[in-house]
Amino acid sequence: MAVYTEVTDEDLTAFAKQFGLGEVLSCKGIAEGVENSNFQLVTEKGGFILTLYEKRVDPADLPFFLGLIEHLAAKGVPCPQPVRALDGLVLKTLSGKPAAVVTFLSGMWPRRVHLFHAAEVGRAMAEMHIAGADFNLKRNNALAVGSWRGLLASCAGRGDSVIPGITAELMGELDALEAEWPQDLPRGVIHADLFPDNVFFRGEKLTGLIDFYFACNDVLAYDLGICLNAWCFEADGSFNATKARKLLRAYGRVRPLSDAEVAALPVLARGAAMRFLLTRLYDWLNTPADALVTRKDPMEYVHKLRFHRAVGGPGAYGLD
């Protein structure tokens, strides 16, 4: 989440009127993340999240994103619900950008990940994968393995100004990942961005999954590779295999993993590290200086990529 586009009071009032939300009491920008402009909106009807979709989001994908969270919520997955305007539409325009309002979920994202967090995320992800199996819209992963070489090229060698020697290292890594990437694993709807700041808890209970704006159809176990990176490394960069085991076992109790999926975890986690390293590197080089957003350090994912490259098999993730 972030703020790239400022909204005037007059435009916001007219926008809220289209949804029948009553008087706007407050609207505060949320300066986390890197993708869209997000605001915590409070009106006479309660609390909501207002999102303006910025240039990286293709407007043609919005029916998929908004339809998916409606579908998942109907299946019992705790995620925001789009608010429909008085004319029945969920998507409008605000400050020249496509915009939507979704319901507010209670809870806080974990600043420090404990074992119960990892287990709850594994369970919830498996339930989400099952719930999404009959969602009838499709969206290809715009940031799948086939896109990574172009993403690196878009940095035009400038990555070395951030991390010396990184361009050559990543070129070699891309050669290996493209050759080793699994082709025949189970596929379905994945979240593709389930970091701690996209998961809410109250106490030890998971209460919400948010920010589905990278959701797509891809290898289901790739979502686990993303979570191994996002949830199982400590602040000092070390990998916590106990957290990984909790996450993977909780997932497997709901949706058992095949032997092929387990065997593929190292390359999937390695690829996930590559994907987030590249997007962080791109954003580090291209985020406007006046954007109300905190850039994320790509070096964190260099260390994670090197860890996964060195593992000897899925046993490194706490599996027998």
Same domain, 214 and 73: no
- In this predicted structure, what is the pLDDT of residue 1? 45
User: Does residue 306 share a domain with residue 185?
Assistant: yes
Residue-wise pLDDT for 103-133, tens only, equals: 999 999 999 999 999 999 999 999 999 999 9
Angle at 103 between CA 100 and CA 105, to 5 degrees: 135
Is residue 1 one of the residues assigned to a domain? no
pLDDT above 70 (res 178)? yes
DSSP sequence for 179-197 = HH---SS-EEEE-S---GG
Q: What percent of the chain has pLDDT over 90?
A: 80
Does 132 share its domain with 216?
A: yes
Residue 70 is predicted with a pLDDT of 93
Tally of domains in the chain: 2
Distance in angstroms (rounded) separating the CA atoms of residues 40 and 126: 29
Q: Any idea what the CATH number is for the domain that residue 60 is in?
A: 3.30.200.20
A 10 A CB-CB count for 13 gives 13
Place of tokens 């999937």: 268
Domain boundary, last residue among 56, 79, 103: 103
Predicted pLDDT of residue 292: 54
Q: Do residue 49 and residue 196 come from a single domain?
A: no
Whether residues 57 and 192 fall in one domain: no
Q: Does any domain span residue 3?
A: no
Q: For residue 236, count CB atoms less than 10 angstroms from its CB and return exposed for 0-12, middle for 13-18, buried for 19 or more.
A: exposed
Residues 6+ apart with CB under 8 A from 64: 137, 138, 139, 215
Note the pLDDT of residue 237. 95
Residue 32 pLDDT: 62
Q: Are residues 30 and 123 in the same domain?
A: no
The domain boundary residue, chosen from 56, 81, 103 = 103
Q: DSSP character for 302? A: H
Owning domain of residue 24: 9-103
Q: Residue 168's domain is classified under what CATH number?
A: 3.90.1200.10
Which of 230, 223, 212, 232 shows the shortest CA–CA distance to 251? 223
Q: Indicate the helix (H) or strand (E) that contains 52.
A: strand 46-52
| 291, pLDDT greater than 80 | no
